[in-house]
Amino acid sequence: MIEAAFPRQLHPYWPQLQEKTRAWLLEKRLMPADKVEEYADGLCYTDLMAGYYIGAPDEVLQAIADYSAWFFVWDDRHDRDIVHQRPAAWRRLRGLLHVALDSPEDHLHHADPLVAGFADSVTRLYSFLPGSWNIRFARHFHAVIEAYDQEFHNRIEGIIPTVEEYLELRRLTFAHAIWTDLLEPSAGMELPDSVRQHPAFRRAALLSQEFAAWYNDLCSFPKEIAGDEVHNLGISLITHKGLTLEETVAEVRRRVEDCVSDFLVAEREALQFADLLADGTLWGTQLAAAVRACVGNMRNWFSSVYWFHHESGRYRVDSWDDRSTPPYVNNEAAGEK
């Protein structure tokens, strides 16, 4: 379904992107050198971004890719803090990220590599568009941090959210708004509120993100069951709707397929909206072009997410020595560091 309707694309900068993000992970000490050497390319983090933000200036794509790689490392730290019962460490990191988000330049040399790497990537992202975009990005990511905190407590306490609670929380832990915000520096323009909040634009953006989150849940289901996870659409369906494993997989798959078909309708409506913006003025022409670029990349998200999940070593649970412990993470269990 995806392969037929969404041809795969990669930004031409991708080979340099892969090399530079690998070097950035080493420079910022976000992954040990041996794990970068063995796993970084196979995790396909840069492939995911290079397949999404087509048309972005090279420096914008590089900043996004480094930020995305940081996001995966942060997700792994969050997971290990839960697995090793490190609530104080998580609380400290949560607070530091909130502060660094509002003043990243003050945290570029922080002792915790995760904080310093975050500050570096955010500082670069903040350089492309006006301050109003930065404020919006920060507001959206503050909410993501708090959603990760909610997930932390749910997992520590063994709380499996209801399906409705999970879907609401998942939009935040997957950072729907963040990846949509980043379409704008890729298109070279901050979109006015009237465009971003237009129903046609919002629906296309939401469907592209819902597809990604739910397809991730489908593909990471074995990994998360092995790790005693409580945050997965499938786990909520089994627990609160009484579905069998087979029924659950079929239901998540149905939701994923509905996202695809619904997006094809929403995409047409969003492109019709872009046509209306092209009113013959220079501003209208530029705005319409930016909206078309954003909608085109919403489309690219489908193929990029699809191939990422089938190629990345992040989901090859059957090849791991321990199905609950990813081989690419620092699994240090001691202390509250």
**Judging by beta carbons within 10 Å of its beta carbon (0-12, 13-18, 19+), is residue 259 exposed, middle or buried?**
buried
Q: Which helix (H) or strand (E) holds 10?
A: none
Q: Is the pLDDT of residue 190 over 50?
A: yes
* Contact criterion met (CB below 8 Å) for 27 and 42: no
Tabulate helix, strand, coil % of the chain (nearest 5): 75, 0, 25
Q: Tokens 């990422």 belong to which residue?
A: 308
pLDDT (0 to 100) of residue 91: 98
Give tens-digit pLDDT for 302-313.
999 999 999 998
Q: Is the pLDDT of residue 48 over 70?
A: yes
pLDDT grade for 330, boundaries at 50, 70 and 90: confident
What is the average pLDDT across 50-62? 98
pLDDT (0 to 100) of residue 335: 41
CA–CA distance, 113 with 97 (Å, rounded to integer): 12
Q: What is the average pLDDT score of the chain?
A: 93
pLDDT (0 to 100) of residue 227: 66
Number of neighbouring beta carbons within 10 Å of residue 316: 15
Name the active-site residue from 72, 141, 201, 263. 72
* Contact criterion met (CB below 8 Å) for 188 and 133: no
How much of the chain exceeds pLDDT 90, in percent? 85
Give the type of residue at 262: D
Give tens-digit pLDDT for 249-304.
999 999 999 999 999 999 999 999 999 999 999 999 999 999 999 999 999 999 99
Reply yes or no on whether 72 is catalytic.
yes
pLDDT (0 to 100) of residue 333: 53
Number of neighbouring beta carbons within 10 Å of residue 213: 20
Number of neighbouring beta carbons within 10 Å of residue 226: 14
Name the active-site residue from 152, 174, 201, 308. 174
Q: Mean pLDDT lowest for which of 68-82, 118-132, 202-216, 218-232? A: 218-232
pLDDT grade for 222, boundaries at 50, 70 and 90: confident
CA–CA distance, 21 with 246 (Å, rounded to integer): 39
Name the active-site residue from 71, 128, 137, 201. 71
pLDDT (0 to 100) of residue 17: 97
Give the type of residue at 322: D
For 182, list phi and psi in degrees, rounded to 5: -70, -10
Reply yes or no on whether 71 is catalytic.
yes
* Contact criterion met (CB below 8 Å) for 297 and 55: yes
